[in-house]
């Protein structure tokens, strides 16, 4: 991912006002990979003849090498998805995924080696989650489960949301009451830094959080 970060869906511009574009070199690099080896590392499947089938937020997404785009199943055919951040993250995941499995150790952004990145304009956005779900835990549960989320022992209500097969994002809600304001936290598996850079982790969390907020009416 380029050094400029990417903002909210639908994504066309970065916070600096620059138009977001997927570098063609990402697709070119991916086309040169050994696909059988890639499937083993990334836990994805071949989808002959177009490319790969990736499980993403509870959905099957096709990575089409021929048309250089992502597609979703809809109306009896594969339909093109036009979301630059999602496309970039797919390509980064497939290009950078290593053989390392999940470590099953849940950590916050402050515990990442690149924790200094997640400050200021790059702080993980929690406020929209609090505003939407802070006093509505049932709505949070429905949204998380619509994305393939599974319950976790985190906060008052926690979920593991499977963004990519080897890169989940964890969410914890502490419910609000008459004495305390609600709180939300975002966590990752310790292994995430073996696969993704700091800006890609930021983008991944941004995309997953936006999906939670929009679920079940998603653009992919």
Q: For each of the chain's 220 residues, which pLDDT tens digit applies? A: 333 233 333 344 444 345 567 899 999 999 999 999 999 999 999 998 889 999 999 999 999 999 999 999 888 899 999 998 899 999 999 999 999 999 999 999 999 999 999 999 899 999 999 999 999 999 999 999 999 999 999 999 999 999 999 999 999 999 887 788 999 999 999 999 999 999 999 999 999 999 999 988 887 8
| Domain spans of the chain, in order of start | 24-96, 106-214
Name every residue whose Cβ is closer than 8 Å to that of residue 28 and which is 6 or more positions away in sequence. none
Residue 113 vs residues 110, 135, 191, 196: alpha-carbon distances, Å: 8, 33, 11, 12
The per-residue pLDDT for 219 is 77
**Structural tokens at position 37:** 């080896």
For 80-89, give one letter per residue: b (16+ CB within 10 A) or e.
ebebbbbbbb
Query: Which of 159-187 are b and which e, b meaning 16 or more Cβ less than 10 Å from the residue's Cβ?
Result: bbbbbbbbbbbbbbbbbeeeeeebbbbbb
The per-residue pLDDT for 20 is: 61
Q: How many residues does the chain have?
A: 220
Write down the pLDDT at residue 176.
80
Backbone angles phi, psi at 197, to 5 degrees: -80, 170
At residue 74, the pLDDT reads 82
Sign of the torsion angle spanned by Cα atoms 55, 60, 65, 70: negative
Number of C-alpha atoms within 13 angstroms, CB side, residue 152?
24
Q: How far apart are CA 163 and CA 43, in angstroms?
A: 13
Query: Which secondary structure element, helix H or strand E, spans residue 150, and what is its range?
Result: strand 150-152
Taking a C-beta distance cutoff of 8 angstroms, is the pair 199, 118 a contact? no
Q: Is residue 182 within 8 Å of 174, Cβ to Cβ?
A: yes
CA–CA gap between residue 174 and residue 155 (Å, rounded): 5
């Amino acid at each position: 991912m380029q050094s400029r970060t990417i903002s909210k869906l639908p994504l066309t511009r970065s916070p600096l006002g620059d138009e977001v574009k997927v570098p063609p070199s990402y697709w070119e690099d991916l086309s040169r990979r050994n696909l059988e080896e890639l499937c083993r590392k990334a836990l994805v499947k071949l989808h002959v003849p177009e490319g790969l089938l990736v499980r993403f937020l509870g959905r099957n997404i096709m990575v089409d090498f021929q048309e250089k785009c992502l597609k979703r199943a809809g109306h009896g055919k594969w339909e093109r998805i036009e979301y630059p951040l999602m496309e970039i993250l797919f390509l980064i995941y497939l290009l950078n995924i290593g053989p390392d499995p999940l470590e099953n150790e849940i950590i916050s952004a402050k515990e990442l080696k690149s924790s200094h990145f997640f400050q200021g304009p790059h702080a993980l956005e929690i406020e929209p989650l609090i505003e939407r779900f802070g006093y509505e835990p049932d709505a949070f549960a429905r949204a998380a489960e619509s994305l393939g989320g599974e319950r976790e022992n985190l906060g008052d209500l926690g979920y593991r949301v499977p963004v990519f097969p080897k890169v989940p994002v964890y969410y914890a809600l502490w419910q609000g009451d008459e004495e305390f304001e609600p709180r939300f936290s975002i966590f990752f598996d310790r292994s995430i830094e073996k696969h993704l850079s700091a800006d890609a982790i930021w983008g991944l969390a941004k995309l997953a959080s936006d999906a939670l907020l929009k679920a079940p009416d998603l653009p992919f």
